[in-house]
Amino acid sequence: MPVFVSFRMKRFSKNNPKSFSDLVYAKTKLIPRGCVTTYGQIAQAIGKPKASRAVGNALNCNPYAPIVPCHRVVRADGKIGGFAQGAKAKAGLLAKEGVKVRDGKVVDFEEKLFVFGK
C-alpha cells in the first residue's frame, strides 16, 4: 500500500526574503520576459558581488519555477549556462519568450541584458 507524505512548501515572499536563496529568487523574479541577466548581476543586486557561483547553486534548487524564472539567468559571456532540465530546455524556454539562442549563446546578448536598477 503506497504511503503519501504531504510536504508543505515554504511560502515565498518577495517582500520579506530571509535567506540568501530567497534574496536570489526575489531578484530573479524581477527579470522581464524577453530579457536575460547574469549570475553576477544578481549577486551584485543582492549586495554579494563575489557570489555569482552561489547564485547559480541557489537557482539550481529553485522550487518556485516558473514563478521565479531561473531560465532567464545566463553566464556573463552570454552562454546560457546550466539548467536543471538541461541546456536544450533552457534554450527552448528562452525562445518562447523571444530570446534567440545560437550555439549555446544568447543572440544580441547586450540588447537582451537586463541590469537591475536601470
CATH of the domain at 48: 1.10.10.10
Q: What integer pLDDT is reported at residue 4 of this predicted model?
A: 42
Q: State how far Cα 116 lies from the chain centre.
A: 13
Domain hosting 34: range is: 20-112
Q: Quote the pLDDT of residue 16.
A: 58
Residue 27 placed within a domain: yes
What string of pLDDT tens digits covers the 118 residues of the chain?
444 433 344 555 556 558 999 999 999 999 999 999 999 999 999 999 999 999 999 999 999 988 999 999 999 999 999 888 899 999 999 999 999 999 999 999 999 999 998 6
H-helix segments, the chain: 20-28, 39-45, 52-60, 87-96, 109-112
pLDDT recorded at residue 82: 86
> How many domains does the structure of the chain reveal?
1
Q: Is residue 75 domain-resident?
A: yes
Give the global pTM. Answer: 0.84
Residue 3 lies in a domain: no
Fill in the DSSP letter of residue 50. T
58 falls within a domain:
yes
Residues annotated as part of the active site: 70
Closest listed residue to residue 104, CA positions, set 96, 115, 92, 118: 92
The answer to whether residue 9 sits within a structural domain is no
Report d(CA 43, CA 51) in Å as an integer: 5
- With beta carbons less than 8 A apart as the criterion, state whether 43 and 115 touch: no
Q: Does 67 reside within a domain? A: yes
C-alpha cell at 78: 552570454
